[in-house]
Amino acid sequence: MANPTAAMLVIGDEILSGRTRDANMYFLAGALTKQGIDLKEVRVVSDDAPAIVAAVRALSAGFDHVFTSGGIGPTHDDITADCIAAAFNDHIDVRDDARALLADHYASTGRELNDARLRMARIPDSATLIDNPVSIAPGFTVQNVHVMAGVPNVFQAMVATVLPTLAGGAPLLSQTLRLQRGEGDIAGPLAELATEFSDLSIGSYPFQQDGAYGANIVIRGQDGARIDAAMIRLRGLFPE
Amino acid sequence: MANPTAAMLVIGDEILSGRTRDANMYFLAGALTKQGIDLKEVRVVSDDAPAIVAAVRALSAGFDHVFTSGGIGPTHDDITADCIAAAFNDHIDVRDDARALLADHYASTGRELNDARLRMARIPDSATLIDNPVSIAPGFTVQNVHVMAGVPNVFQAMVATVLPTLAGGAPLLSQTLRLQRGEGDIAGPLAELATEFSDLSIGSYPFQQDGAYGANIVIRGQDGARIDAAMIRLRGLFPE
């Protein structure tokens, strides 16, 4: 059976302006691969409501799961929750369960649960909350869209909450052979190997080191024995 | 006048599987911002022809410029050039100008211009070549789509070739104020400031350090004097 598919939507001007280097995509990609959920597409859009709504609708319709990061804090540029509600024609307001979480948290830390912080309790009616052990303000899931914070340690904590609730597939296994040869010298035999092992994915990732060309050949698939067989053939094609 | 808009398309299974952390998005975002071209969207797709073709068409239609990275090497998994031709219903084959570049290069380095390497001379008929001073095999431009290598130093060299040929806009200027206060404490006044300076983009990027909450407030725009005025107001709102 084919693995479940996923897409990610990164929301934030700070990524597109080059101010911040995204870290959540790399983290999520690794976590999904381990669980056997195939990340098929990532989109990054700015803090722009029509762009967010359009991307949520397209990705929700196209993939089994969608993971979003960013835009659920208390400031005016945090518009993700309202955009998710709009994308699904859902009603959104401050919700009692989320408000209770925040009220407890701020009471215990002696800070005020003001109007800005209450924005973080704006949750679409149909959503289920995602636990946030780091800073309490919850993420949420609407249909197949999991809405999480952009701050990396909070994002990672929310991913750790959500992933165990999702059915995974066969984890994607991989083995890598590092070759000190230019891609142009290996491409012919490699293509034949890829045809022979068409049930596996064989990728070639070139590098340059100290002026010499090389490539990492990565063989991926769900059947470890098949990967072993392909690796043996690969080593035979390019003896060191 | 509004700045030109751009999108980026990152092509590669290695990013989506979590094997490789993308570096080109962060580089391109910074380079475009300096030149006054607004990066509005990034998509990452796998080495899958229908996905690449659909993304190229959508982004080419939606933005002034599209920059792609990845998939133009000599191996079987390098399918970007053929996908670009398909997206624009263009014919593609080994082209004489690209072949001549490769022939000179491999003659001078004593390596063979074999069939695999000749794949890198497959260029759509309507394309103009993008110079590659690092490893010679060219990128190319079809209509508003600039097709570049995924290896970061080659990608960067191609960006350096392409960007000076594009009309830029007013560079996006920014100033940042680091506040040692939680976003919830600053969000109210910050929203009012954003309304007053609606010609600027005011973003709040929270962080946690040694257990304390803070936020970097970034004010972006094209008019340095307006940014100065907003920064003075911002400092007045949150005196240290």
Of B33, B51, B76, the CB nearest to A191: B76
Tokens 């994002």 map to which residue?
A155
Structural domain range at position A88:
5-165
Q: Does B28 share its domain with B47?
A: yes
> Could you tell me the pLDDT band of residue B224, with boundaries at 50, 70 and 90?
very high
B191, B137: one domain: no
Q: Residues B157, B195: one domain? A: no
The CA–CA distances, whole Å, from B238 to B59, B80, B178, B193, B231 equal: 41, 50, 10, 12, 11
Of A8, A11, A15, A19, which to mutate for an interface test with B (greatest number of B Cβ within 10 Å)? Answer: A19
Distance from C-alpha of B7 to C-alpha of A239, rounded to nearest angstrom: 42
Last residue of a domain, one of A142, A165, A188: A165
In a shared domain, residues A9 and A123: yes
Q: What is the CATH number of the domain that holds A223?
A: 3.30.70
Return the CATH number at B84. 3.40.980.10
CA atoms within 13 A on the CB side of B168: 14
Mean pLDDT for the stretch of residues B172-183? 91
**Structure confidence by residue, pLDDT tens digits, A66-79:** 999 999 999 999 99
Instruction: Check whether B211 has a pLDDT greater than 80.
Output: no
Per the structure, how many domains does chain A have?
Answer: 2
Of B15, B16, B218, which to mutate for an interface test with A (greatest number of A Cβ within 10 Å)? B16
| Cβ distance of A33 and B20 shorter than 8 Å | no
Domain boundary among A110, A143, A165: A165
Q: Which residues on chain B are in Cβ contact (under 8 Å) with A120?
A: 184
- C-alpha dist (Å) from residue A34 to A22, B56, B112: 20, 29, 40
Look at B77 and A203 and tell me if their CB atoms are within 8 Å: yes
- Is the CB of residue B47 less than 8 Å away from at least one CB of chain A? yes
Confirm if A13 and A47 have CB atoms less than 8 A apart: yes
Model confidence pLDDT, tens digit, residues B111-143: 889 999 999 999 999 999 999 998 899 999 999
Residues in chain A: 240
Angle at B39 (CA atoms; ends A38, B159), nearest 5 degrees: 90
Would you list the DSSP string of B110-128? T----HHHHGGGEEETT-E
pLDDT in tens, A167-221: 888 888 899 999 999 899 999 999 999 999 999 999 998 887 777 888 999 999 9
A92 and A138 part of one domain: yes
Beta strand B212-221 pairing with B201-209: antiparallel
Instruction: Determine the Cα–Cα distance for residues A217 and A72; give it in Å rounded to an integer.
Output: 40
| Residue in A47, A115, A206 closest to B73 by CB | A206
Query: Quick one: A145 and A35 in the same domain?
Result: yes
| B153 and B69 within one domain | yes
